[in-house]
């Protein structure tokens, strides 16, 4: 792809994200979720695997899962993860036997340069509440937070609180939580903690991560990158 064409496409996708950001709705959850899903993606070469797991709340019993396989249609460009992974995520979530009341997404929501990460993309597309639960920071900074479980610190960019660093397990690196769609930041923090048990990640997210990872490892590699 010529550099000029690539640059034009990147600008177009960034503009789409700015438009998407205006479609995100932040409002309290109307009722406590009964069915909570999580979705995660793993790649092997140019092939992708998205795994969606559906759990009951409050037991966190796994009710169903769905794995979607396909070619990754978009190269890795920081801030444009949605266009790389969202199609497979949508397929996986839509493959679940019941529609979830809340979706935990491996990635950013509002904690994104254009306030439109993959959790926003999926939430707006599906019309469902979503929370971004990221393992690392894409944009923003936060002050130190306490070592105990439940400690939080606002994630700030351009003088705006865009998410929260959340300690889900004592002494373990926090996760970075942000609004995806149809939740508040307070909801996002609360339900991240409510669904986290012994591990760093919420239990539905941990299961989706493991399922996607195992499925990706089973794929034949189609290039030299793993």
| CATH placement of domain 3-217 | 3.30.2170.10
Rounded Cα distance between 15 and 70, Å, is 26
Output 218 or 67, whichever has higher pLDDT: 67
The Cβ of residue 12 has, within 10 Å, a number of other Cβ atoms equal to: 10
Average pLDDT over residues 73-87: 85
pLDDT grade for 225, boundaries at 50, 70 and 90: very low
pTM of the entire structure? 0.93
pLDDT above 60 for 223: no
Please return the burial class of 165, using the count of CB atoms within 10 Å of its CB with bins 0-12, 13-18 and 19+.
Answer: buried
Tens digit of each residue's pLDDT (9 = 90 or more) over 162-194 = 999 999 999 999 999 999 999 999 999 999 999
Query: Which 3 state secondary structure label does DSSP give 4?
Result: helix
Name beta bridge partners: 161.
Answer: 156
């Amino acid at each position: 792809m010529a550099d000029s064409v690539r640059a034009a496409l990147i600008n177009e996708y960034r503009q789409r994200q700015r438009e998407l950001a205006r479609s995100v709705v932040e409002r309290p959850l109307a009722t406590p979720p009964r069915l909570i899903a999580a979705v995660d993606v793993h790649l092997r070469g140019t092939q992708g695997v998205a795994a969606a797991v559906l759990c009951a709340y409050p037991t966190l019993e796994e009710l169903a899962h769905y794995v979607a396989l396909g070619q990754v249609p978009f190269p890795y460009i920081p801030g444009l993860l949605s266009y790389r992974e969202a199609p497979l995520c949508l397929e996986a979530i839509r493959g679940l036997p019941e529609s979830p009341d809340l979706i935990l997404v491996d990635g950013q929501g509002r904690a994104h340069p254009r306030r439109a990460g993959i959790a926003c993309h999926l939430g707006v597309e599906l019309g469902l509440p979503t929370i971004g639960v990221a393992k690392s920071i894409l944009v923003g900074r936060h002050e130190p937070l306490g070592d105990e479980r439940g400690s939080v610190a606002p994630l700030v960019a351009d003088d705006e609180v865009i998410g929260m660093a959340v300690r889900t397990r004592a002494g373990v690196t926090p996760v970075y939580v942000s609004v995806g769609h149809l939740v508040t930041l307070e909801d996002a923090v609360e339900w991240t903690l409510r669904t986290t048990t012994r591990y760093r990640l919420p239990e539905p997210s941990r299961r989706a991560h493991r399922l996607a990872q195992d499925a990706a490892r089973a794929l034949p590699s189609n290039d030299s990158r793993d």
